[in-house]
Amino acid sequence: MELPKFILGDNTDFPNAIFIVHTEYPRFIINLEDDEVEWLEDFSHDDEDELTAETEKLIEEATAFYDREVARYKD
């Protein structure tokens, strides 16, 4: 199965949270309510520098994805 790069999710147990799931490496879930990130990968200490540089870019992409999806619902 081919998955989209980002998936928008919500859950009634977390009524104020909006989740974005990043399905490609490095996989993560971000809660846009508080920008908390849950990584779905195990990283070595050597990966930390690359991960730090990549994280900001990926969070910006996730936020842009959310903005695009919300704009499509409004149309």
Q: What is the pLDDT of residues 13-69, one digit of tens each?
A: 999 999 999 999 889 999 999 989 999 988 887 777 778 778 889 999 999 999 999
| Residue range(s) defining the domain that contains residue 34 | 6-74
Q: Is 42 among the domain residues?
A: yes
3-state DSSP of the chain:
CCCCCEEEECCCCCCCCCEEEECCCCCEEEECCCCEEEECCCCCHHHHHHHHHHHHHHHHHHHHHHHHHHHHHHC
Residue 62 lies in a domain: yes
For residue 11, being part of any structural domain is answered with yes
How much is the pLDDT for 60?
A: 93
Q: What pLDDT score was predicted for residue 11?
A: 95
Whole-number pLDDT of residue 72 = 93
1 within some domain: no
Number of independent structural domains in the chain: 1
C-alpha 31: how far from chain center? 7
